[in-house]
Structure 1
Amino acid sequence: MAALAAPEAAAPQGPTEAGETTEAAELSRSLSRLLPGLEADSKLGRRRALEALQRVLEAAQPEAPDADPDAAAAAFQGPWELRLALVQLLGLAVRLTGAAFAPHLDDAVRALRCTLLDPFAAVRRESCECAAGLARATPDHFHMQSESLIGPLMQSISHQHWKVRVAVIEATGAAIQFGSGKSVDDVLPHFAQRLFDDVPQVRQAVMRVVGGWLLSLRDRYSFFHKLIPLLLSGFHDEIPEIACEASTLWEQVGLQWQTENEEDLKDKLDFASPPPAHHPSPGDRPGLGCRELVFRNLSKILPAVCHDIDDWVAGTRVKSAQLLAVLLLHAEDHVTQHLEPVLRALLRACADEEAAVVSSCTRSAELVGTFVSPEVFLKLILSTLRKSPSPSGLLVLASLIQGCPREALRPHVKVIAMELAQAHICQGSENRLYGERLLQCVQAVVSAGREDCRGAGEPLLEVLVTVLALWGPTGLGDKVQETLAALAAVEGMDGSQDLFRAHVSPLLEWLAASHRDWTGHSVELLQLDVVLSHSGPALGEALPQLVPILRSCLQPARDPAMRLKLFSTLTGVLLGAPETVDSQGEITGHHSDLASLEVTLICCWASSQSIVMQEVLFPTCVQRPLGLGETIDGTESALAPSRVEDPQPSCCPSGPCSLRTVTPQERLLRAGLNSLKKLCSEASCGKRVAQFQIRVQSEASKCCYQSSVRHLYRELLVYLDDPEHAVQDAVLEALKAGSVLFPDLLVKETEAVLHKHRSPTYCEQLLQHLQALPPAQ
């Protein structure tokens, strides 16, 4: 075998090859002789050595045009120009000699360590190009010196000139590619910082270098878990070209790895499974190699991502949240074994003040819901919500449900709805954001479950009633109405009123379970108000459930503030009785209950004079609701033991009188008057402003309370001279509205006080209004 190899070794060289070898050897000897002169002590000596080097190199490249001596003399006018020329000559020497430059590697590296930190940007940039060329020219020897260049390169990677930063990144890529992999750990934190660079070219350089390492770095398998996050972070770059290039590089990496591990992936390649039917983008599903790379390195990547998602720098949190979504899209159902730390990270990140972080984490939660069984993720997220309800927890739950396939979610719809309806969750906070997230959960259940929600309509409606009660006034009312319409549609109903008709009785039973413990601050009062105001004609079918609640809550012994709030709610219902409680014409069957309730209201008003009301309503004070006059007379004996005295005896010519001599309308009016006097005595203008609506049922009933109305006129006329214009305007409107009762009486009372007011303007306006009334009034 040695004999067979001898002729090949002894093969004669051609004339051209021999000449090139001789020239290279001669050039090497010349450079060895002249390069030490560059380190001479005197500037003149260094300059002469430089000129000699230039002549030798130009002679070795005869095709190059002759240098202009004048231009060369101008190039060395300043110190930076000298340094730049030196680096350029060094780069030229490396390019011309190639591997033959290896004997001078140590000297070149020492020089570059200085010039890479040169104050002049052009010198640094030229030094980076020279370092990259040196690494490519001497790969067999460069690995011994590569680590010594990493320090200066990393010191220059944040240079203010973006071209210098790009050159440093490219030089670093070559230095590690042809050098030692030990420096990767030193370089990666700096590269990660460059992903936030404002200049797109810098970010693009990072993508290209990292992609090149993943494709051709000798020991790249050891660094996959560190390099993959950098490349995948480019998927969401704001420049589409960079994002596209990062995606292309990643595909190449995945295909190459798949080819290199084809034997290991044989079964998966031969029996490739189609994309999941519920995959968010089955046409763009990552290749097998890419998915396997992420899956096999996920346990090493996730801890760092979950840590950075809480970083104090907003940009880092945004990048980490975006990267998490990309990783989950690749991992698919393999994320199940990492679900607990992922959900913990999402719970924290969904409370972030940065909208971009929340958006990316919402997307991540949807992907978890897509690929993970609901039996698994519901066990974890519902347990968390039971312990500590929060807006972020509700948002994660809503996103999980939104991403879950309908078939998988079907058995769990009712469980989710019942959990949301629990008081500690649906009333977990008064914060508006909490209500918004709770509403999102219901919307997700309805949109994802669709017709499967029919068995969960009642608890879902309870949640919507709570949201409307607590956060409807804050701007969520329209969204709740849309959700009610959507829920009605999936239950096969025409609208929200049909939805309430179907569930009004269970809703009232739900509220009745706690009505004995209600106070003025109870959420259930607001919930009852929503049910009564939205049920419409369905209330006529639910009187057996409604009346006992009202009778119990309006007893004089109950909390006065609660009774007043409930009375205000009931007022609106009774005014529209034909469209609400009497929609079925069955009100006569509850006359005795409502009669007792009306008298209870009288006592409620008479005993609540200490409560400062924000609004005093008189629609039912002077108009007998539901025409129950005959029934009220039958309640005398029941009320006789209490003998509630008239709170304003001066309003009635007959002096003190009991309920048997004072009509219910008059008693309510007088009780309201006492509250008005209390209200008007407050220092705050807002508490003294009251609006009154005074209605009459028939002219024949006026005589029953003329004395009370006279007293009311007198009280109100005092406040036409109030220092606050808002009070004067409100009282003027109230008197105009109430003038329909006894206009002549009001004219007389107004003329009597006209001369007493500091400014008669408002009294004159009232008189003008009264004079303009039609003669019939």
Structure 2
Amino acid sequence: MQSESLVKPLLKALNHQRFKNRIACIKALGDILLYGESRSIQDLSGPLAQCMMDLPQVRLVVVDVGGALAMEMPDRYSYWQRILPLLLSGLRDEDKDVKIKAELLWEDVGKKYEKENEDQLKEQIDFDAVPEHYPSTEAGITQYVEKILEGLVLASSDKEADVVKQVVECSEYLGYFVPPATYLPLILPRLGGGQYGERPLIVLSALARGTPTALLQESVADIAEALANEDVSHVTNHGHQSALLQVIQVLIEKCDPRDCSYSIFSVLLYIASTSEEQDTVSIAQEQLENVAKRSGLDRVYKLYDLHLSAVLNTIQTTASSWTEQTPHFMIFLGLLELADQSLGCHLERIVGILCDCVPKKQDPFVSLKCLMKLNHLLKQEEHPLNSNGELERFLPVIVSDIVKPFLPWHAGSTAAALRTAAVSCLVSVCQAEVASQKVLDEVKNCLALIPALIEDDSEDTRHLSCEVVMNVAYSFPQLIDSDTLHTLADKLVKRFDDVSAVVRLKSARVLAALFKNLPENYNPSIQSARLRDLYESATVFLDDPDEILQGAVSDALEEMGKISPEILKEVLERDCPKFRNKHVCEKLIASMNNLQIAVVN
């Protein structure tokens, strides 16, 4: 027909710089379709739809033409899929006039369709009944669902927020009209964090949100299993994890999660363990609580009880080769942080994993993070590692195989950090209120390494080593014999001259504690020479400029002087004239006199 020869020049005119010319062109194309060859719409529907991104005046004309085609074009029933988008776009237009025009035309088109198909729609018209699954024409959608999903996935990362919003809404409708059995085989293979990124997850969450609950429940296990696949769940990208949480949230809200509890748990655990965004971590932890509630569990730690064994089975196989970035290592750290009282029920497995991954031949940063987590757990008042009463059984292994190997000196800043972490763990072990003979034996073995640690280059290590001595002196005094007492005391007195005021003060207070519980076989006469050396070294600091240190040293000498007051008195009387602050020295001399008198009486 002659009209077909006009199509190509008119299509070129659609790009004219003057909008009035573009409007005239759109009207002319509409007339061609109405009065000429209607099959030309196959070539024109795309360019006309693109005009919906033009000025409001142009969009208004496109909607008007679309309405005319839907009402009057011959063979329009064969081309609904090309005509209706021209009207549908107008229904969501940001311009009020365009939107109102599209709504009016949509209403008119619907009434005419109803009138033309009165026989087929007679029952619905007579009874004004809304179909249960409106509009009950899923077969037509299903035919094109793969192409539709491809477009939705690509558009879901658009820079325009309105586009993404409409993609989500469209996906919800698609999920309502297309069963999961149809769309899942098309969307699930795209979920891995590869070329598509998080886009398929955004579409999947909307599809699931739109799917009727009964249908979604039938497929929830398949969806959760796909999400738990390591290619999908073990991605640390923030956008990917946020999209993954959206899918999980929909599944938890709409379905009974008990059929797929482990899969959902493993996904949420990884996100909570690895995300650097605190908001994301909080959402993951909140969803873990929701899974527990929806599974009929009153406390979230019972969810960990349910699945911890399976998680440990999975990650233990790779523990000996972990690095700082290994996903299984991140999961393990997350468990230590989040599993709370459930840890005590699986302590043997946890200690076994620590023994596999902590040795120095592996990544030192893995060892460091494990030691830090272990220290945190040992210090907690709730004692999560002892929730099943088995800490006493495994604490000797923790000390001998996990803590002690890092106490000896090795060069380098990493080794220094590991020493600090190991000494900190030893402090926590001493405070764990577990005093079996095996634990005491291991602490005693470690105590032999403490004198060197008191002189470590790291201030934190020196301070913590003093803390170890303090705790042993109060909790396990039976571990300190006469030689150990004086070896430790010599090292502590040397710390009175430390560059750190904190270490100086701590060492003085620890020295006082050390001499409060003397070994049973301690003989002052045999140790007199060593006592004199201690007195002479400590007395110098009674004249220290730091008054707080003066007081702490005075208290330590007061305690030490009870062993041999005559020797200390002799040292004090000799050195007192050299001091600027003689009152502290004179006070101690008077105290030693009183002790001597008390002994005589």
Taking structure 1 as the reference length, what is the TM-score of the superposition?
Answer: 0.56
In structure 2, the CA distance between the partners of 1:338 and 1:750, relative to structure 1 (3 Å rule), is farther
Partner in structure 2 of residue 517 of structure 1: 321
Matched, 1:508 2:322: no
Give matches, 1:355-504, under 5 Å.
Answer: 355-385=161-191, 388=194, 390-427=197-234, 429-449=235-255, 452-473=256-277, 475-504=279-308
Aligned CA distance change for structure 1 residues 630 and 221 (closer, same or farther; 3 Å): closer
Task: Give 1:343 deviation, angstroms.
Answer: 2.2
Alignment of 1:735-754 (within 5 A): 735-736=501-502, 739-742=505-508
In the alignment, the residues of structure 1 paired with residue 435 and residue 491 of structure 2 have an alpha-carbon distance, to the nearest angstrom, of: 22
Aligned residue identity for 1:216: E
Is the CA contact (8 Å cut-off) linking 2:202 and 2:246 kept in structure 1?
yes
| 1:585–1:398 CA distance, 2 compared to 1 (3 A) | same
Whole-angstrom CA distance in 1 between matches of 2:551 and 2:207: 66
Amino acid at match of 2:339: S
CA 1:152–1:461: 2 relative to 1, 3 Å: closer
1:573 Cα deviation after fit: 0.9
Confirm whether residue 195 of structure 1 aligns to residue 52 of structure 2: yes
The residue type equivalent to 2:309 in the other structure is: S
State the distance in 2 between where 1:737 and 1:149 align.
90
Residue matched to 1:233: 89
The answer as to whether partners of 1:540 and 1:580 remain within 8 angstroms in 2 is yes
Structure 1, residues 203-262: CA drift from partner, whole Å, max 9, x if none? 323322331233234565576544322121101111345323312312322332343355
Separation in 2, partners of 1:187, 1:400 = 31
1:697 maps to which residue? 471
Per-residue deviation, residues 638-661 of structure 1 (Å, max 9, x unmatched): xxxxxxxxxxxxxxxxxxxxx859
Describe the shift of the 1:418–1:712 C-alpha distance in structure 2 as closer, same or farther (beyond 3 A): farther
Q: How far apart are the structure 2 equivalents of 1:523 and 1:332?
A: 42
For the pair 1:620 / 2:425, whether they are aligned, the reply is yes
User: Which of 260, 264, 289 matches 2:116?
Assistant: 260
Contact residue 220 and residue 260 of structure 2 kept, 8 A: yes
The change in CA–CA distance for 1:405 and 1:578 in structure 2 (over 3 A counts) is same
**Cα distance in 2, alignment partners of residues 185 and 372 from structure 1:** 26
Q: Is the 8 A contact 2:142 2:178 kept in 1?
A: yes
Q: Which moved more, 1:483-492 or 1:256-265?
A: 256-265
Counterpart of 1:663 in structure 2 is: 448
Equivalent pair of 2:403/2:426 in contact (CA under 8 Å): no
| Structure 2 residues without counterparts, runs of 5 or longer | 513-535, 557-601
What is the Cα deviation at residue 562 of structure 1?
2.1
CA-to-aligned-CA distance 1:622-675 (integer Å, 9 cap, x gap)? 452534474256459xxxxxxxxxxxxxxxxxxxxxx859535556666xx35x
DSSP-derived class of the 1:352 partner: coil
CA distance in 2, matches of 1:620, 1:194: 69
Does the 8 A contact of 2:395 with 2:439 survive in 1?
no
Determine if contact 1:602/1:668 at 8 Å carries over to the other structure: no
Change (3 A) 1:332 1:661: closer
CA shift in 2, pair 1:489/1:590, >3 Å: same
Shift in Å at residue 466 of structure 1? Answer: 0.6
Shift of the 691–222 alpha-carbon distance from structure 1 to 2, 3 Å rule, reads farther
Q: Structure 1's 499 and 668: CA in aligned 2 closer, same or farther, altered over 3 A?
A: farther
Confirm or deny that 1:533 pairs with 2:347. no
Question: 1:264 and 1:661 mapped to 2: Cα distance?
Answer: 89
Cα deviation, 1:427-462, whole Å, max 9, x if unaligned, reads: 1x332112212222221221121xx21232222222
Paired letter, 1:426: S
Residues 379-424 of structure 1: per-residue CA shift (max 9 Å, x gap):
2322333695831222233222222222112233233323322322
Name which of 206, 215, 224 aligns with 2:62. Answer: 206
Give how far 1:512 is off.
Answer: 2.2
- The Cα of 1:603 is off from its aligned counterpart by 0.9
The structural deviation recorded for 1:476 is 1.1
Cα pair distance change 1:206/1:580, threshold 3 Å = same
Structure 1 residues 311-334: Cα deviation after superposition (integer angstroms, max 9, x where no partner): xxxxxxxxxxxxxxxxxxxx6453
Distance 1:178 1:367, change over 3 A: closer
What is the aligned residue count? 513
* Partners of 1:554 and 1:604 within 8 A in 2: no
Deviation, structure 1 residue 469? 1.3
RMSD: 4.7
Gaps of 5+ in 1: 1-142, 278-284, 292-330, 637-658, 681-689, 718-731, 754-762
Structure 1 CA distance, aligned partners of 2:155 and 2:10? 37
2:564 maps to none
- The Cα shift of 1:527 comes to 1.5
Does the alignment pair 1:250 with 2:94? no
SS in 2 for 1:542: helix
Contact kept, 8 Å, 1:554 with 1:563, in 2: the verdict is: yes
SS in 2 for 1:494: coil
The offset of 1:377, in angstroms, is 2.1
2:355 is paired with a residue whose SS is: helix
Contact 2:403/2:425 (8 A) holds in 1: no
Does structure 2 retain, via aligned residues, the 8 Å contact 1:543–1:581? Answer: yes
**Paired AA for residue 417 in structure 1:** A
Can you list the C-alpha shifts for 1:589-619, whole angstroms capped at 9, x where unaligned? 435434534xx42113437644537794453
Could you say if the C-alpha distance between residues 667 and 576 of structure 1 is closer, same or farther in structure 2, counting changes exceeding 3 Å? farther
Corresponding residue number in structure 2 for 1:574:
378
| Contact 2:154/2:199 (8 A) holds in 1 | yes
Give me the whole-angstrom Cα distance separating, in 1, the residues matched to 2:539 and 2:5.
103
Counterpart check, 1:335 vs 2:141: yes
Distance 1:230 1:508 in 2: 56
Distance of 1:145 and 1:421 partners within structure 2? 57
Kept in 2, the 8 Å contact 1:147–1:180? The answer is: no
Rounded to whole Å, the distance in 2 between the matches of 1:159 and 1:635 is: 87
Cα gap change, 1:489/1:434 in structure 2, threshold over 3 Å: closer, same or farther? same
CA distance in 2, matches of 1:631, 1:244: 83
State how far apart, in whole Å, the 2-side matches of 1:661 and 1:177 are. Answer: 92
What letter is aligned with 1:260?
E
- CA shift, 1:359, in A, is 2.4
What CA distance in whole angstroms lies between the structure 2 residues aligned with 1:382 and 1:484?
23
Query: Alpha-carbon deviation of 1:463?
Result: 1.3
- C-alpha displacement at 1:776, in angstroms? 7.0
* Residue deviations 1:706-749 (CA, integer Å, cap 9, x gap): 5555677767x2xxxxxxxxxxxxxx6xx437733426999x99
Q: Contact 2:493/2:507 (CA < 8 Å) preserved in 1?
A: no
Q: Secondary structure at the match of 1:340?
A: helix
- Look up the SS of the partner of 1:619 in the other structure: helix
- Given the alignment of the two structures, is residue 593 of structure 1 paired with residue 387 of structure 2, yes or no? no
Residue equivalent to 1:17: none
Q: Distance in 2 between matches of 1:235 and 1:750?
A: 89
Q: Corresponding residue for 2:561? A: none
Query: CA, structure 1 residues 549+154, in 2 after alignment: closer, same or farther (shift >3 Å)?
Result: closer
Secondary structure (helix, strand or coil) at the match of 2:425 reads coil
Residues 1:711 and 1:213: Cα distance change in structure 2 (over 3 Å): farther
User: Helix, strand or coil: the match of 2:471?
Assistant: coil
Deviation at 1:467, TM superposition (A): 0.4
DSSP-derived class of the 1:588 partner? helix
TM-score by length of 2: 0.70
